Amino acid sequence: MRHDEDAEEAFAALYRTCYGRLVAQLYAITSDLGEAQEATQEAFVRAWSRWPELRTYENPEGWLYVVAHRVAVSRWRRTRRTVLGWLREDDVSHYAGPDPSVVMLVEALKRLPLAQRRALVLHHMGDRPVAEIAVVEGVPIGTVKARLSRGRAALAALLADQPVAGFSVNRASEEVRRATEQA
């Protein structure tokens, strides 16, 4: 399939705009940066092969999120079935470790039910409106609002006892985005 230059530039612009945000969202959901990056990359590979159709969508980023999330879930299930998986020996010594607030946020998010975690990540890290989340998740708007409310309350309780001074969920969210964009 041959894409014209305008289509290539539109795809490149979508990649530049969405890649870091999608990786950050999947990282917050999966707690595995490498998995989040690979699932997002796979979603972009699939998007490229469907780009003539996908570029006409009102929200191609939403399509990318759904595909990346499904890829991550499929990979997790496959890994769980095989138990051992592959060990990668990447030299990560030249990367700075994550900010402690990022680690705390991701650890706290892991303790929430998956539906609440996805709603919080999509809304607060993905800057998605409630109505869009409802479409992506396939649930009523009221369900998303309830998940956000319960998730915020649970997250606040989990983070209330954290000893790091100056901890901010918004700052931690921004740190996750930055870390994933640099990786």
| DSSP string for 33-98 | HHHHHHHHHHHHHHHHHTHHHHTTSS-HHHHHHHHHHHHHHHHHHHHHHHSS--------TTSPPP
Question: pLDDT confidence of 58, banded at 50, 70, 90?
Answer: confident
Mean pLDDT over residues 5-12, rounded?
Answer: 88
Specify the pLDDT at position 94. 56
Specify the pLDDT at position 88. 46
Mean pLDDT over residues 138-151, rounded?
Answer: 94
Question: pLDDT confidence of 13, banded at 50, 70, 90?
Answer: very high
Specify the pLDDT at position 39. 93
* Token pair in block for residue 114: 């998956």
The distance from CA 143 to its chain's CA centroid, rounded to whole angstroms, is 20
Question: pLDDT confidence of 29, banded at 50, 70, 90?
Answer: confident
Q: 152 in the Ramachandran plot: left (φ > 0), alpha (ψ -120 to 50) or beta?
A: alpha
- 3-state SS of 140-175 is CHHHHHHHHHHHHHHHHHHHHCCCCCCCCHHHHHHH
* Token pair in block for residue 175: 């740190």
Gyration radius from the chain CA atoms? 17
Mean pLDDT over residues 23-40, rounded?
Answer: 90
Span 111-134, pLDDT tens digits: 999 999 999 988 988 888 999 899
Specify the pLDDT at position 158. 85
By residue count, the chain amounts to: 183
24: helix, strand or coil: helix
pTM more than 0.95 = no
